[in-house]
Amino acid sequence: MAVRYARPRLISSDDKHYRQYVEQYLLQRQNNRAMRPPRQRDLFGGQAETALRDWLGTQLPLAETRILGYEELRGRRGMQRYRELDALSVLDRRTVHVFEIKASRTASAIRRAYAQLQETRAILRLLYPTVYATILLVDTGILSADAIIALMDQEDAPRVPPETLAEVLATLPSLHPIANLADSPQDAQGIDLLQFSVEDIIALAGAENLALDWEADELAADEPFVAPPPSLVYTTEPDPPTSPEPDHPEADDAFPEPDSPFAAALRRAGLSPNAPAQE
């Protein structure tokens, strides 16, 4: 069934309806899912996103209203959706530039970011005819072709080899790798890709402000996860006419920055608000 979009609007994170939506999502998440504590890599992903958003703010004027609300229409059924844009710059009344920030050690994260931006662009075009889009990728260990060969020779090799960066780029001909924002071809149909290293993020944020003890994640992975006892959190309010989760393709992987209502709600529940899990 074809998906259509209607009634798009850009709002801030203190919008009353958005806050209610987030609180409802958190209640459902706590009732239905055991939560693992965030890994160091998860925390780094959120810190890298904040660092790159701050950096973008020195290059472009960024909009405060970067929560995109809209209706998703499937046949006769409409559902209220929200997605948090990593960064948005309104260039003029007809043109915007939207950014998707990823910190990942897998090249396939680029393909997912590309698909997310294509969908976001389709919604934003109902508000702005021209939508430029850019992926900001923090490479935290994407394997080279030689490294993948060595990996697949190991006894515990994965069933399917990971993709190389070149293989992913070859499948996305309308993706434009650029060296800096000034090199953007300003293609309203394609998507730009600007890459950063972990060292670039350290230079922007300072090592003391980043979760870089990734070896601790490997040790924690060897320990069995004990789920907490069932939560007594519940709601007596009727289910709202919305989807059960905020409509960001990474809703389970990417939490907003600390001052958003989603993050505040997570913090009240004893969860980390800065835990966008890496791919």
Cα–Cα distance, 263 to 18 (Å, whole number): 13
At 202 the pLDDT is 98
The strand order across the sheet containing 191-197 reads 87-92, 95-104, 130-139, 191-197, 175-178
At 167 the pLDDT is 95
Cα–Cα distance, 239 to 146 (Å, whole number): 51
At 76 the pLDDT is 79
Cα–Cα distance, 248 to 207 (Å, whole number): 29
All residues at 6 or more sequence positions from 207 whose CB lies less than 8 Å from its CB, including other chains: none
- Sole residue written with tokens 């090592």: 207
**pLDDT in single tens digits along all 279 residues of the chain:** 688 999 999 999 999 999 998 888 888 777 665 566 788 998 999 999 999 999 999 999 999 999 999 999 988 788 999 999 999 999 999 999 999 999 999 999 999 999 999 999 999 999 999 999 999 999 999 999 999 999 999 998 999 999 999 999 999 999 999 999 999 999 999 999 999 999 999 999 999 999 999 988 777 665 554 444 443 333 333 333 333 344 433 333 333 343 444 444 444 444 444 434 345
At 216 the pLDDT is 80
All residues at 6 or more sequence positions from 199 whose CB lies less than 8 Å from its CB, including other chains: none
CA dihedral defined by 101, 107, 108, 111, rounded to 10 degrees?
Answer: 50
Residue 135 burial by Cβ neighbours in a 10 Å radius (0-12, 13-18, 19+): buried
C-beta atoms surrounding 20 within 10 Å: 14
What is the pTM (predicted TM-score) of this model?
0.79
All residues at 6 or more sequence positions from 165 whose CB lies less than 8 Å from its CB, including other chains: 107, 110, 142
The 3-state secondary structure of the chain reads: CCEEEEEEEEECCCCHHHHHHHHHHHHHHHHHCCCCCCCHHHHHHHHHHHHHHHHHHHHCCCCCCCEEEEEEEECCEEEEEEEECCEEEEEECCEEEEEEEEEECCCHHHHHHHHHHHHHHHHHCCCCCEEEEEEEEEECCCCCHHHHHHHHCCCCCCCCCCCCHHHHHHCCCCEEEECCHHHCCCCCCCEEEEEEEHHHHHHHHCHHHCCCCCHHHHHHHCCCCCCCCCCCCCCCCCCCCECCCCCCCCCCCCCCCCCCHHHHHHHHCCCCCCCCCCC
Which residues partner with 87 through β-bridges?
Answer: 99
